[in-house]
Amino acid sequence: MKIDNYSLPNLKTAQKRTKDETMIERSLFDIPEEYKHLGLNKTYYLRTYGCQANERDSETIRGMAEMMGYLPVQSPEGADLIIMNTCAIRQNAEDRVFGELGQLKRLKYENPDLIFVVCGCMTQEEEVVARILKTYDHIDVVFGTHNLHRFPDLLVQAHFNKERVIEVYSKEGEIYENLPVIRNMKSKAWVNIMYGCDKFCTYCIVPYTRGKERSRLKEDILNEVRILAEEGYQEVTLLGQNVNAYGKDVYSDYDFSCLLKEVAKTGLPRIRFMTSHPWDFTDEMIDTMAENPNIMPFIHLPMQSGNTEILKIMGRRYTPQEYLSVYNKLKERIKGIAFSTDIIVGFPNETEQQFQDTLDMMDLCQFDNAYTFIYSPRSGTPASKMEDNIPLDVKRERLQRLNKKVGFYALKNNQKWIGQIVPVLVDGPSKKNPDVYSGYTDTNKLVNFTADQVQSGQIVQVEITAAKTWTLNGKQLVV
């Protein structure tokens, strides 16, 4: 919908799915010469909320901002351009963003030339854009997830016309292979293998904010991974809302396990992927993980609930038994594999007994880590039409009981590593103590360790000396 010069989102349109082929844009991405100096002697501050998809989008935003001459700064104070890349997954994520937007308004009074940009999943919601239009008049540019490639044009428009620019398309989405990127890390990289989601879990806003499931072509992914390997990257994480669905929209005989095999062949030391939906997890994927030592023995396998009825009304398409079957196969085939999961508590109508089923599943699976959330109704989703009938204090109390269990098993799992020697990919000196380094094991555990002169990006052997709930301590093994 277009009002004046505003292109506004619509969740109903965003929900539509057709069989139309996905457009892939490959033309050279460039910015007109005269605008390449727009940011000269100016700075930008970029804040990213939410998941890895947003982190990766922010790397593209950085690429585009720096093509225009802007330089990055770590604080919004004094920046000439502020960009907020937002997350819509839960109401508290949105409240945080609105809180920040309100707080940062004063910067616009101090510097009227400041350009303030809001983008990401929140802007795909009509209610959010309406609220920005009504209450946040210091926001100059609003663009959606399907308008990422339009960022430089929108910035130019806001800058020269001194007008507010709102451009949010609600559509299935395209693939842009031509966008610049400045990666946040030198040894670990995110690689999108697909965009969007067609699962439509009843509570989730992602299929509306990110469009349809659309896979990048395998050649494009493999090229990107090979280049990263040549540049010395040590770890690549293949990204998608449900990577198991990779390829289904473009190939009849090439699926995620085929891609994973080929990515493993590039010889990159560490390959990870996220997220996998338990529903279409194939045996070939498990075999591929088991047969390739550079695919890391760690999996994030969201369970959401341990109760059959709740899983059904969540639209998750598996039962707790089917979840367990995938879990057990992974555990049997991949030595030492670590698991993390996502759990939602307080879904509409969840009874104490149904919540107890989730706790029982936690006892069975003994996850290394779990991200736990209180159910948050998202406008436009099927679940938001159900009565949100679990009182907040009950939800909070369930979350507390759940988190206690999560912490218990996290510590129990970490304690098993004491005395063992594990490979750690070094991130760098620890934030709290520069004499201590930090990095991740192949099983995705954060280790703080003492060492002599290690460089970030190195994989070193570390002896684990102590275990805490969320981290391990260790010392580098000198041979």
Residues 20-59 binding ligand SAM (CB under 6 A) are 51
Q: If DSSP states are collapsed to H, E and C, what string results for 238-293?
A: EECCCHHHCCCCCCCCCCHHHHHHHHHHCCCCEEEEECCCHHHCCHHHHHHHHHCC
CB 279 within 8 A of CB 318: yes
Of 344, 390, 451, 460, which one interacts with ligand SAM (CB under 6 A)? 344
Is 200 a binding residue for ligand SF4 by CB under 6 A? The answer is yes
Considering the complex, what minimum distance in angstroms separates the CB of residue 131 from ligand SAM? 19
Give the x/- contact pattern for ligand SAM in 299-318, rule: CB under 6 A.
---x-x--------------
Task: Determine, following the binding rule CB under 6 A, whether residue 313 of this chain makes contact with ligand SF4.
Answer: no
Site for ligand SAM in 362-401 (CB under 6 A): 373, 375-376, 378
Considering only 43, 124, 192, 241, the residue that binds ligand SF4 (CB under 6 A) is 241
Q: Residue 381 CB, nearest distance to ligand SAM (Å)?
A: 7
Q: Which does 215 bind (CB under 5 to 8 A by kind): ligand SAM, ligand SF4, none?
A: none
Residue nearer to ligand SF4 on the CB measure, 207 or 348: 207
**122, 175, 193, 204: which one contacts ligand SAM (CB under 6 A)?**
204
Q: What b/e string do you get for 364-398 counting C-beta neighbours within 10 Å, with b at 16 or more?
A: ebebbbbebbbbbbbebbebeeeebebeeeebeeb
Find where tokens 């196969």 sit: 329
- Are 46 and 79 in contact by the 8 Å Cβ rule? The answer is no
Q: Which two tokens stand for residue 166?
A: 């709102």
Helix (H/G/I), strand (E/B), else coil: 362: helix
Q: Distance between the two ends of the chain, CA-based, in angstroms? A: 65
Q: Angle of helix 392-415 relative to helix 352-365, nearest 10 degrees?
A: 10
Using the rule CB under 6 A, is 6 a contact of ligand SF4?
no
Q: What is the DSSP letter of 230?
A: H
From residue 202 to residue 231, the character string flagging contacts with ligand SF4 as x (rule: CB under 6 A) and all else as - is --x-xx------------------------
State the nearest-atom distance from the C-beta of 153 to ligand SF4, in Å.
29
Q: Which is nearer to ligand SAM, 355 or 373 (CB)?
A: 373
Give dist(CA 66, CA 49) in Å, integer. 20
For ligand SAM, the binding residues in 74-113 under the rule CB under 6 A are 89-90
Residue 301 lies near ligand SF4 (rule: CB under 6 A): no
Distance, CA of 380 to CA of 208 (rounded, Å)? 9
Which entry of ligand SF4, ligand SAM, none binds 119, CB below 5 to 8 A by partner kind? Answer: none
For the CB of residue 304, give the shortest distance to ligand SAM in the complex, in Å. 6
210 binds ligand SAM (CB under 6 A): no
Return d(Cα 193, Cα 376) in angstroms, integer: 28
The site partner of 318 among ligand SF4, ligand SAM, none (C-beta below 5 to 8 Å per kind) is: none
Q: Please identify which residue in 164, 199, 317, 401 interacts with ligand SF4, judged by CB under 6 A.
A: 199
Of 11-19, 29-37, 178-186, 197-205, the window that binds ligand SF4 (rule: CB under 6 A) is 197-205
Tracing tokens 């965003």 back to the chain, one arrives at 14
Site string for ligand SAM, 262-301 (x = CB under 6 A): -------------x-x------------------------
Calpha distance 242→249 (Å, rounded)? 13
User: Which of 93, 106, 94, 123 shows the shortest CA–CA distance to 8?
Assistant: 123
Binding mask 230-249 for ligand SAM (x = CB under 6 A): -----------xx-------
Number of alpha carbons in the 13 Å side-chain half-sphere of residue 44: 25
Pairing of strands 175-176, 270-274: unpaired
Give residues with Cβ within 8 angstroms of 361, minimum separation 6. Answer: 303, 306, 320, 323, 324
Question: Per CB under 6 A, which region of 70-78, 108-116, 202-210, 289-297 contacts ligand SAM?
Answer: 202-210
Encoded tokens for 308 = 């059959």
Measured from the CB atom, the residue of 90 and 146 that comes closer to ligand SAM is: 90
Site of interaction with ligand SAM (CB under 6 A): 51, 89-90, 203-204, 206, 241-242, 275, 277, 302, 304, 342, 344, 373, 375-376, 378
Site of interaction with ligand SF4 (CB under 6 A): 197, 199-201, 204, 206-207, 241-242, 277
